[in-house]
Amino acid sequence: MREGSRANALLMELLLVIFFFMIGAAILVQLFADARHKSIQARAASESLAEGQNCAEAIYALDGDDDPEQWLADYGFKRTDDGKWVLEREDYKLTITAEAPEKTASGSIRTYNITAEGDGVELYTLPSTRYLPSKEVAP
């Protein structure tokens, strides 16, 4: 009877060790999955920020005679039904919204908002605002 009791104790000890090993492995797998997800989000944020800044600078560089909508179409943006411009990449989506230009006596102000979305979450919004003076010169 004594021999059977030792075998059962050893078996119980092995089962407990296997149980704790399985719990530890499950926790580690979850940690690695979370780390991978955060890495993908960080890469999407970094890439979309670089492209968003390039778009903001390119739109700012357009002078009054250039058509920003033509530049957006040439760059690969698609116009949606609500008037926004969308560029979809593998990890993120850029959306450009044009605000109505503000007209003043000396010129106009053109504003575009560039919004990046990654993994269903809004990452950032960049404004691109430029003052365009009128061609007339006051005496």
Whole-number Å distance between alpha carbons of 87 and 116: 10
The model's pLDDT over 7-39, given as tens digits with 9 standing for 90+, comes to 788 899 999 999 999 999 999 999 999 999 888
Residue 138 in any domain: the answer is: no
CA end-to-end distance (rounded Å), the chain: 115
Residue 139 in any domain: the answer is: no
The model's pLDDT over 43-58, given as tens digits with 9 standing for 90+, comes to 888 999 999 999 999 9
pLDDT at 61 over 80: yes
- Please give the tally of structural domains in the chain: 1
Q: At a CB cut-off of 8 Å and minimum separation 6, what does 48 contact?
A: 89, 91, 92, 94, 116, 118, 123, 124
Pairing of strands 93-98, 102-103: unpaired
Element (DSSP H or E) covering residue 48: helix 2-61
What pLDDT shows up at residue 3? Answer: 66
The model's pLDDT over 77-123, given as tens digits with 9 standing for 90+, comes to 999 999 899 999 988 999 999 988 888 888 888 899 999 998 888 88
Contact 125, 113 (CB under 8 A): yes
Q: Cβ atoms within 10 A of the Cβ of 107, count?
A: 17
Residue 88 in any domain: the answer is: yes
Q: What confidence tier does 136 reach under pLDDT thresholds 50, 70, 90?
A: low
Q: Is the whole model's pTM more than 0.75, yes or no?
A: no
Tell me the CA distances in angstroms from 47 to 7, 37, 52, 120, 133, one per residue in order: 60, 16, 8, 16, 34
Domain that holds residue 113: 2-133
